[in-house]
Amino acid sequence: MAVLDIQITNASLREITGGIASTAVEASWVSTSYLIGEIITIPLTAWLGRVFGVRLYLLVNVTLFLVFSGLCGTASGLTQMIVYRALQGFTGGVMIPMSFTVINTQLPPSRRAVGLVLFGITATLAPAVGPYIGGLLTDNYGWPMVFYVNLLPGAVMLATVFFAIDPEPLNLPLLWKGDWLGTVFMAIGLGSLIAFLEEGQNDDWFTSVFIQRCFALAVIFIPLFIICELISKTPVVNLRLLRVRNLGLASAVNFLLGASLYGSVFLLPEYLEQVQNYSASQTGEAMVLIGLPQLLIFPFVPRLMRAFDLRLIVFAGALIFGGSCLLNIHMNPDFGGPQFQFGNVIRALGQPFTIVPLSALATAGLLREQQADGSALFNIMRNLGGSVGTALLSTMITQREQFHDFRIGERVTPYSPYVQQFLSNQSAQNLQHSGDPAGALQQAYRMLQASVQTNSFVMAYSECFLALGVMLIVGAGMIWLCNKAKAGGATAAH
């Protein structure tokens, strides 16, 4: 639910915009506010889990998540929606690292790989099918159903947590010993960073006073947060764990994987809707091929993790994922959903072999009491990577489209034989329908301009896919810097 809710609203933003009487730019805060809430709460989960106990902490947050999900469906204005979505993200973000923690602390080593596979399904499948589910629900039942859909699985989750996880005694004194100053610095710094990354392109980056202030707050408060956590005797976020070789390196690779995973989930729908004029449901159907084949691959991952070096599995998965991106670097204006199918299937074959063994590598060698902190650090890097990757790709599309439009425009002149031939042919065709020679020529010029813009966008998107491919290849190489580890959790030096 938590991962799905990051993406599920993207396919329904047009309908949500109408429902809450906001503009398209304002409606981007429906996603941004959720991400801000989530990015703030993920680092806090290990500490708060120790204070309240895993069972109580999950039960309270899942209940609140369902309450805020329902309130999002009833929102009638932008301010209401932003507040409810931020609170939904703040409670939903708890589920991501806590599920990871439960796997590593409450499952025996022999079953841990299976648990990580189930965790991996949520991390890679949910972003792929989110737009499809969102579009399907919106088209058939209206946009509020995008939020109400959480109620049934949420009820099941409450029951399973209640009966399957043992209660723990409260440790309330720890609540007052925590580094509250560092927590405040973290909330301001990370919240400002996400707002800067997610809204920068909409507000034309540093031309906006709001974006300038978000950047300044992030630059000031994130270093202050890091300093506080490193010098505090009771840090809320144990940043010192990043000195553990495997956790530090795997978190860096996870940042790149997050940028690639969420970046590709952003890039493909954006291309299909902007260049090919796909509807939300058509876009969702094209994305499903990324998700469904993974369900067939995931059952084999635990066996491979026991049989092969985890680093080799991540390396192969990242290369396959990167290769699927590189298949899209020679697109043309006719490149649509069917042309993406082969690459999407290849991507689906590679993704299951990235996040699951990487998760095992990251926490290998950590003590039981360190697992929760390690989980929080590992997972926040993927979410940060996703926000950074999406922001960079969004900017890259705009900048490179303008660059290619300018360069193509230098060659498209009235003196070019190709341009003259194009205008002549199109004018003749338009004249048959309109009977107005001047109007037919003007229409031909507009068609030429549209063709130049379409080709510019196609070239820009091709370069974005190239950037993703290179990013994944770099991540594949970095994984060999980790120490070799077994699927059960032990590490071995080189």
CATH number at residue 405: 1.20.1250.20
Q: For residue 71, what are its two tokens?
A: 């309130």
Q: Which residues contact 216 (CB under 8 A, 6 or more apart)?
A: none
Q: Using the structure block, give the residue that is written with the tokens 């009491």.
A: 369
Q: So what's the pLDDT on residue 494?
A: 39
Q: So what's the pLDDT on residue 415?
A: 67
Same domain, 9 and 152: yes
Q: So what's the pLDDT on residue 108?
A: 86
Domain of residue 189, residue span: 181-235
Averaged over successive runs of 10 residues, the pLDDT of the chain (494 residues) comes to: 75 75 74 85 86 92 93 87 90 86 84 82 74 77 86 92 90 83 90 86 84 93 91 84 90 92 84 81 74 78 86 93 92 85 86 86 83 84 85 87 85 70 69 68 73 88 94 94 72 45
Integer-rounded Cα Rg, in Å, for the chain is 24
| Helix, strand or coil, per DSSP, at residue 491 | strand
Same domain, 316 and 387: yes
Write the CA distances from 435 to 185, 357, 427, integer angstroms: 68, 66, 10
Q: So what's the pLDDT on residue 316?
A: 93
Please give the tally of structural domains in the chain: 3
Same domain, 83 and 145: yes
Same domain, 407 and 265: yes
Beta bridge partners of 484: 492
Q: For residue 281, what are its two tokens?
A: 């449901």
Same domain, 60 and 193: no
Q: Which of 154, 178, 202 is the last residue of a domain?
A: 178
Same domain, 162 and 272: no
Identity of residue 1: M
Same domain, 268 and 354: yes
Q: For residue 168, what are its two tokens?
A: 């723990």
**Rounded Cα gap, residues 303 and 316, in angstroms:** 16
Same domain, 130 and 92: yes
Q: So what's the pLDDT on residue 26?
A: 72
Same domain, 174 and 200: no
The number of residues in the chain equals 494
User: What's the distance, Cα to Cα, between the start and end of the chain in Å?
Assistant: 39
**Rounded Cα gap, residues 188 and 180, in angstroms:** 12
Q: Which residues contact 332 (CB under 8 A, 6 or more apart)?
A: 458
**Rounded Cα gap, residues 356 and 348, in angstroms:** 14
**Rounded Cα gap, residues 280 and 282, in angstroms:** 6
Write phi, then psi, for 389 (nearest 5 degrees). Answer: -60, -45
Q: For residue 126, what are its two tokens?
A: 């949910």
Q: So what's the pLDDT on residue 447?
A: 77
The backbone region for 69, taken as left when phi is positive above 0, alpha when psi lies in -120 to 50, beta otherwise, is alpha
Same domain, 254 and 302: yes
Q: So what's the pLDDT on residue 214?
A: 92
Sign of CA dihedral 177, 182, 186, 188: positive
Q: So what's the pLDDT on residue 493?
A: 43
Q: Which residues of 4-30 are buried (b: 16+ CB within 10 A; e: fewer)?
A: bbbbbbbbbbebbbebbebeeeebbbb
Same domain, 17 and 121: yes
Write the CA distances from 387 to 11, 204, 306, integer angstroms: 18, 17, 33
DSSP state of 169: -
Same domain, 76 and 191: no
**pTM > 0.85:** no
